[in-house]
Structure 1
Amino acid sequence: MDRSPDPGANLRAGFHALSDPLRLEIMQFLRDQEACVCDIQTKLSIAPSKLSFHLKTLKNAKILRSRQEGRWIYYSLNLPHITALEQYLADFRRLSPIAPARTCQD
C-alpha cells in the first residue's frame, strides 16, 4: 500500500510544539543566538530530562535545528519552517472572506 506523506503533519506538529509555554521560552532564548543544551538549561533552570523532552519536540516539529560540535549539541531556530507556519496563518487572513453567518433554518 503506497501512502503519500500527510502534508498537514508538519503544520500540526509545529502548532502542537508552539502550544507549550516552556517551549516558547526556549524559542525566545534562541531568538538571538544559537546555544548549547547547557546554556539553555542554565538560563531557564530546567531539569535535563525535561529540557531534553522539549528540545526533541521542537526538533521533531522542525522548529529547531541542531548541530553537534565535539560532545556538545547546539540548537538554533529553523526560520524557514517558522515562516511556513506563519504563512499558513497569514493565508487564512488573506484568502478567507469575512462574510456574515448564515441564519439557520429549522
Structure 2
Amino acid sequence: MCTQLLGRLAGSRLPLTEADAEVIDRLRVLEAAGHIRVLIPPPHFDCDDCLRQDAAIVFEILPAGWKALRTGAPDDEASPLSSPRPRRPKRAGIAGWLSGTRHRSGE
C-alpha cells in the first residue's frame, strides 16, 4: 500500500501538502524506510481538547524511494526490517531452562 502512495507521489508536483491522517501515517512509514523527505508536525491538543494533526508536507523522494519504484519491490521487500529472518528455537536451551537447576531462596 505504501508503494502505491510512493508511486502517486512520484507523479505529483512536489512539495505536496497532505492533510488526511491515514495518508500521514503511511508517509511516516515511507520516511522511516528512507524513501521520502517529509515534514510531519507533531499532533497537538486544540482549544476544544481534541487531538489534532496538522498537514504534512512532502518535499522530495529520496534515492532509496526511486530505487524501490524502479524495482517494483513490495513494501515488505523494500525494508529489511519488515521481513525478519525465521528463527528456530534452541530446544536444548529451552529444555534446560524449563528443568531449572536454580535453587530458590530458603531451599
TM range (shorter): 0.3 to 0.5
**TM superposition score normalised by structure 2:** 0.37
Q: Give the greater-gyration-radius structure (CA).
A: 2
**TM superposition score normalised by structure 1:** 0.37
More helix by share: 1
